[in-house]
Amino acid sequence: MPVSKKFLLILVAFLVLAGVFGSGLYIGIKLPAESKVVGIIQKESPTELPEEVDFSLFWNVWGRIENKYVDIAKIKRQEMLYGAIEGMVKSLGDPYSVFLTPEKNKEFQIEISGEFQGVGMEIGIKKNILTVIAPLKGTPAERAGIMAGDKILKIGDVSSADIAVDEAVKLIRGPKGTKVKLTILRNGEDESRSIEIERDVIKIPVLDTETKGSEAAENGKKIVPKDIFVIKLYNFSENSPLLFRQALRQMLEGGQKKLILDLRNNPGGFLEASVDIASWFLSQGEIVVSENYGKNIPSTVHRSKGYNIFKGVPTVVLVNQGSASAAEILAGALKDHGIAKLVGERTFGKGSVQELLPVSRETSLKITIAKWVTPKGYSISEGGLLPDIEIKPTKADREAKRDPVMEKAIEMLK
C-alpha cells in the first residue's frame, strides 16, 4: 500500500509482521443526563454539515443508558465514547478507515516503527472477507504454505466475520516462538483447512535478481542463452529505489536486453518508491498515478522524474492477487503507457490513500482521503488491474513446482 509522508497504508494491516468528535463533542441540545456525564467539552462542529443531523438521538440513547442500565456502576464512559466513534467510522463501509483507541494507537506506532514479530503476511478486507494479500518471502507464513488470496475464516477459535483488520492483526501477531492457528479457505477448494504457524522475528526482503533464457541444443550440449533479466521486487521500502537501480546496473553489465519485473505477492509500500522506479521507464513529466480526493478538490498528479533509460526495453510485468497498492501503481503506469504487458492474475485492488490524523494525545484516526487512478483514468480500487494475459496457476502446477506465469513471460520475450 502506498505510503508517503502521510501514512498511506495496504493494511490493510500495515503488516502482520510482528507479526470524539475532536477533543470533545459537538452539542446542539441539552443533555438528558448532562449532570451525570463528567468532563464533556462543548465545541462547535468543525465544518458545515451538508444535511441536518439530529444529534439528540445520540444523547437520548446515552441518557437512557445512564438512567436505565442495570450495571451502571460498572460502565466506563470513556469506553462508551470510543465505541460510539468506532461505530461512526465503521459506518463508512471502508475497511481502511479506523479509529485508533489509546491501546490500538500504541500498537500501531509499534508496527510502523519496524519492530516486527509475527507470521509475516499482509492482510486486508476483500469482498467483506478477511483475506491474505500476500505472505512475505522467507517468513513463517510462506513456509507454512499460506498463499495470496487465502480467505481467513478463523483466527484460533475466533471467527473473522465482521472483524476489523486491526483487530485481526492483534490476534495473529505475537512473540517469537508462540503459535497461531488459522482456518483458511483457498480459492478453488470447497473445504477449509487449518494451518498452524509459529511466530518469529520478521526480516523484510526487498528484491532478488536472476537471469533466464530458452534452452537450445548445439553439438549435443544444452546451451541456455541468458538473455532475460528478472527482478523480483517484494515491497516498496525506502531502500527499494536504490536496490532497483543497482539491479538495473547489473542487467546492463550482464548484457541482458529483456526484462521481467515480478510483482507477485508484493503488497506495496512507499508511494515515492513506486514513482521513482516507474521513472526508469517513462519520459520526464509522464503521469505515473493521480491522487483523486473526490468532491471538488483538484487531483494530485505524480509524474515521472524522467530517468527512462529503459524505455523501449522489452518488458513483461508479473502480477497476482497479492500485488497491491504501490505494486498496482507501478504495474498500472507501465501498462497504460504501453511499456509492458501484464501477465498473471487480477491484482488485489488496494488503491486508496490513508492519512493518520491525531485526534487527542492518545488517540488517532486512520482515514481514507483519496483513491489512486492510473494514467488512463482507471481507479485501482474498482476491482484491481486485469492482466493482458490472465494465467491462474493450478493446484497441479503448485504440486509440480511449475510456474506457468513465468513460462509465459519468457515465451513472450523470445
- Catalytic, out of 160, 237, 290, 325: 325
> Cα–Cα distance between 95 and 92 in angstroms, integer?
8
Compute the C-alpha angle 367/118/167, nearest 5°. 35
Supply the mean pLDDT for the chain. Answer: 84
Structural domains of the chain sorted by starting position, each given as residue range(s) with its CATH number in brackets = 25-96 (no CATH), 105-201 (2.30.42.10), 207-352+367-412 (3.90.226.10)
Q: Which residues, other chains included, contact 158 with Cβ-Cβ below 8 Å and sequence gap of 6+? A: 171
Could you tell me where the DSSP H helices lie in 96-255?
102-112, 140-143, 165-172, 240-254
Helical ranges in 287-392 per DSSP H: 326-336
Is 262 annotated in the active site? Answer: no
Read off the DSSP letter of residue 113. Answer: T
Q: How confident is the model at residue 112 (pLDDT cuts 50, 70, 90)?
A: low
- What are the tens digits of pLDDT across the range 265-323? 999 988 999 999 999 999 999 999 999 998 788 999 999 999 988 878 999 999 999 99
Known catalytic membership, residue 325: yes
Catalytic-role residue among 336, 364, 366, 371: 336
Say how far apart CA 16 and CA 168 lie, in whole Å: 9
Q: Tell which residue, 346, 317, 341, has the closest CA to residue 149.
A: 346
Model confidence pTM above 0.85 = no
* Angstrom distances, CA of residue 401 to CA of 46, 51, 263, 394, 406: 57, 58, 19, 10, 12
Q: How confident is the model at residue 193 (pLDDT cuts 50, 70, 90)?
A: very high
Could you say which of 212, 258, 335, 350 is catalytic?
350
Q: Cell 521507464 sits at which residue?
A: 281
pLDDT-derived band at 17, boundaries 50, 70, 90? very low
In this predicted structure, the answer to whether residue 188 has a pLDDT above a threshold of 50 is yes
Q: What is the band of 108 on the pLDDT scale with cuts at 50, 70, 90?
A: confident
Report, in this order, helix, strand and coil percent for the chain, each rounded to 5. 25, 25, 50
